[in-house]
Structure 1
Amino acid sequence: MGRVRQLADLTPAGRERYADLLRAVAICLVVLGHWTDTAISYDPSGHLTGRSALSELRWAYPLTWLFQVIPVFFLVGGFANAASLTSRQARGGSATDWLLDRSARLVRPTTVLLVILVGGALLARLGGADPAQVRTAVSFATIPLWFLIAYVAVVALTPIMYGLHRRWGFVVPLVLVALVAAGDLGRFLGPGLLSGGNFLFGWLVIHQIGFAWYDQYAATVASGGGGAGRGTARRGGLLGRRLPLGRPVAAALTIGGLVALVLLTVVGPYPVSMLTVPGERLDNTSPPSLALLALATVQLGVILLLRRPAERWLRHRGPWRAVVGVNAVVLTIFLWHLSAVLLLVGALDTVHWLPAPPVGSAGWWAWRLPWLLALAVTLLALVAVFGRIEARTGRRSRERGREGGSTGRSATARTALTVFGYAAVVLGLLINSMTRMSTPEVLGTPPIALAAYLAGAGTLRLLRSAPRTA
């Protein structure tokens, strides 16, 4: 707590605290949504099974519009990545240096999760557990990694995409939206392979809007006498590159996005649910669809409408300290929140205290509150143990960010190895996510996925620790 208070008290006056609040609120909604939606039961053979309760609660589909907040992560990510990249370059650092420092915060906590899950899988196998059940448990615990696949890829592309943003402004997200629309047509009319690009294009759209938010913020700081570095460069682009923050634009985004969302889902062919529902013909998030982008537009409008009162509230010490505390371990919370489910379910099942009422029954709803409270306690314990890794990594990244960049004949090789490291990490996570939950795996995850991920993570770690030559 002392460290959190220190970080909160040292916050620069010009920091966009609202972005940090959005990240903290979004992670809480993701965790709450997943926990509430999880339905645990026993199959006819007495084995534990887990599934989404949404398939049996169709009336709750519109509520997913409130809990699908992954677009907020990419919006805030675009803002934060543009801010840190421009700051690093202003101090003489390179895009490669920035990518390596950024990788530490993402990869190190993820590596810890994977290593512990693999170790747990091996122990379970030594205890005689069925490898298919081991895979199911590990697959469930690694569901959050699907988000990291897209986010790590987007981070790797940030230097290129921010350069395009500075040149073409809002033309870039408009082109990306058109590509998403083409992918959706492929899903509806064929060939389905056309939609594969949406896994990247959809999230890049929202990330680019985060760039525009940062540019507007940087220009505002500069006009008020603050230093904004490269973020105050000329506007450029056919349609400009700064996101208007005024209430008229916010209201237009909210209303227009909501109308589009209703037309696409209630009237049109897209599902109403913004979360994955087994059995639905189409998934709005995997890959992102035009309907999800409409929801993101609504969220952007609401975010802008609430910005000023939220900024005033965050000037109070208590709320800001809470936001700083959550953000210090935000990835740890996200990575471990489904592992908390496994631990709690396993413990309650061992002592025969695990209720398994039918989804939607009075008993199921009555169990939701103690279920959520017990999971919160379990997750807090996990964060207390593993959150230090993320917090310590964040401090080291800030210290490295004050060093000079690397130059010389090794720069090209260093950049190539950095690209390889990011690509291998993404590939490993992708193979794990694409492998069926019921596939027997001794390690709980495919060996090739683990090997690819560790190769990428190890390469990035070696590059971060290598001396930088001038």
Structure 2
Amino acid sequence: MASVATRIATATPADRDRGVDALRALAILGVVLGHWMVTAWARGPGGTIRVSSPLIHLPEFTPASWVLQTLAVFFFVGGYAAARSLRAAKGRPAWVRAKMGRLVRPVGPPALIWAGIAAGLMLNGMPPGSIRALLLPAAAPVWFLAVFAALTSATPLLVRERPGVLIVSAAGVVLAVDVGRFALGGPAWLGWVNLAAGWLVPYALGIAWGQGAFTSRRAAVGLLAGGTAGAVALVAGFGYPASMVGVTGAKVSNLSPPTLAAVCFGIAQVGLALLLRGPLTRLMRRPPLWAAVAMVNLSAMAIFLWHQTALLVTVLVALRFGDLPGLLTSPAEPVWLLQRLAWLPVLALLLVLGLLPGMLRASFNDRASSSS
């Protein structure tokens, strides 16, 4: 393993921004771990299956959502990488086509798996409500991928605008939508406008970073302090949920769709990411750490799309053995968290086994292209 790590480190171009790759890997792993820890199912009346969450019963663990909800960093790094690669692209239409192919192509295989599972469960007589409860968390990442793809395809237009104008305009839309929903009693569907506007804020911050902004530590500290202050004020003074992930059954979610509190929280995460970039870059000089980060980046989108499917497959197998603790039991007691933690190695192994062929193929293609 040491020799493999050394070869990966040696083959990495000298100008590769390893700190940014480390931020992307941390964002992906935060999303995976967060989903694996808050996605729960339990038996309902008549043996049906319903979606649950430990945060419903154990609100004292809400601060964990502040650590594990890392989507803003994912969008921030995505905006940075898009702005940098677009600047070096020979043609913008070709750049968009290539980016869309990389983002959309991986959706096909898991979608076929989800359809096959749904058909099999229907043929076995499972109620539609239970099928939906099982499959919806697995397919949920597609919503965020769709937003990410839309912002990526719009990057050639976004880079023409002043980043500050983009950021303030997008945040203003989120504020206006929240006022319409919560203060003026507007319809709930209005909130879905924030699905694009809310994630545009960290994406546009990433574009600004890719164009040379945020070179000083003071700017990063300002984003961290300002975003934190805004999120705390909205939660403490305006009744926004404290959880930064969706909680089943809650009247308001900070994530689906994004609220102003989620946007402020994301700005704080961007500031923290900027502060961590330097230390992470230094850590990535160690071949074993860099090799792990490189492998995560190689399959970042596949990990994002498949991680909940690994959990779903584990639960479907567990259905044959009754209500296994940590999988099909109510997350109403703190011991459930320990039980779910015990399942994480199984989920990780299943995810790695599922992704291994694609990782090897991508690695082979990279070597072939670099040698040609």
- TM-score (norm: length of structure 1): 0.72
Q: CA deviation at 1:326?
A: 0.7
Is the Cα–Cα contact under 8 Å of residues 58 and 333 in structure 2 kept in the other structure? no
Q: Residues 44 and 287 (structure 1 numbering): CA distance in 2 closer, same or farther, change over 3 Å?
A: closer
Q: Residues 106 and 120 (structure 1 numbering): CA distance in 2 closer, same or farther, change over 3 Å?
A: same
Identity of aligned residues (%): 36
Helix, strand or coil for the counterpart of 1:382?
helix
Q: Amino acid of the residue matched to residue 315 of structure 1?
A: R
Q: Which of 203, 208, 211 is the aligned partner of 2:207?
A: 211
Q: Which of 289, 310, 321 is the aligned partner of 2:280?
A: 310
Counting only pairs closer than 5 Å after superposition, residues 420-459 of structure 1 correspond to structure 2 as none
Q: Residue by residue, what CA displacement relative to the aligned partner does 1:101-123 show, whole Å, maximum 9, x if unpaired?
A: 11121111111111222233334
Corresponding residue for residue 101 of structure 1: 98
Corresponding residue for residue 410 of structure 1: none
Corresponding residue for residue 263 of structure 1: 233
Is the Cα–Cα contact under 8 Å of residues 18 and 310 in structure 1 kept in the other structure? yes
Q: CA deviation at 1:256?
A: 2.2
Is the Cα–Cα contact under 8 Å of residues 73 and 273 in structure 2 kept in the other structure? no
Q: Which of 115, 118, 122 is the aligned partner of 1:118?
A: 115
Counting only pairs closer than 5 Å after superposition, residues 283-298 of structure 1 correspond to structure 2 as 283-298=253-268
Helix, strand or coil for the counterpart of 2:13?
coil
Q: Amino acid of the residue matched to residue 58 of structure 2?
A: L
Is the Cα–Cα contact under 8 Å of residues 182 and 195 in structure 1 kept in the other structure? no
- d(CA) in 2 for partners of 1:394 and 1:85? 22
1:156 and 2:156 matched: no
Helix, strand or coil for the counterpart of 1:163?
coil
1:170 and 2:164 matched: yes
Helix, strand or coil for the counterpart of 1:50?
strand
Q: Residue by residue, what CA displacement relative to the aligned partner does 1:329-388 show, whole Å, maximum 9, x if unpaired?
A: 111111111111121112222133712554242542331331222222222222224545
Say how many residue pairs are matched. 366
Segments of 5+ residues of structure 2 without an aligned counterpart are none
Q: CA deviation at 1:194?
A: 4.5
Q: CA deviation at 1:70?
A: 0.5
Q: Residues 148 and 50 (structure 1 numbering): CA distance in 2 closer, same or farther, change over 3 Å?
A: same
Is the Cα–Cα contact under 8 Å of residues 4 and 325 in structure 1 kept in the other structure? no
Counting only pairs closer than 5 Å after superposition, residues 321-470 of structure 1 correspond to structure 2 as 321-352=291-322, 354-355=324-325, 356-361=328-333, 363-387=335-359, 391=362, 395=366
- d(CA) in 2 for partners of 1:4 and 1:152? 32
Report the more deviating stretch, 296-305 or 187-196: 187-196
Q: Which of 178, 181, 188 is the aligned partner of 1:187?
A: 181
Helix, strand or coil for the counterpart of 2:21?
helix
Q: Residue by residue, what CA displacement relative to the aligned partner does 1:217-259 show, whole Å, maximum 9, x if unpaired?
A: xxxxxxxxxxxxxxxxxxxxxxxxxx22322222222222222
- d(CA) in 2 for partners of 1:132 and 1:191? 29
- d(CA) in 1 for partners of 2:174 and 2:248? 23
Could you say what the CA RMSD is over the residues aligned between the two structures, in angstroms? 2.7
- d(CA) in 1 for partners of 2:132 and 2:191? 28
- d(CA) in 1 for partners of 2:143 and 2:22? 23
Q: CA deviation at 1:202?
A: 1.2
Q: CA deviation at 1:7?
A: 5.3
Q: Residues 202 and 187 (structure 1 numbering): CA distance in 2 closer, same or farther, change over 3 Å?
A: same
Choose 1 or 2 for highest CA Rg.
1
- d(CA) in 1 for partners of 2:10 and 2:81? 20
Q: CA deviation at 1:35?
A: 1.1
- d(CA) in 2 for partners of 1:139 and 1:279? 15
- TM-score (norm: length of structure 2): 0.89
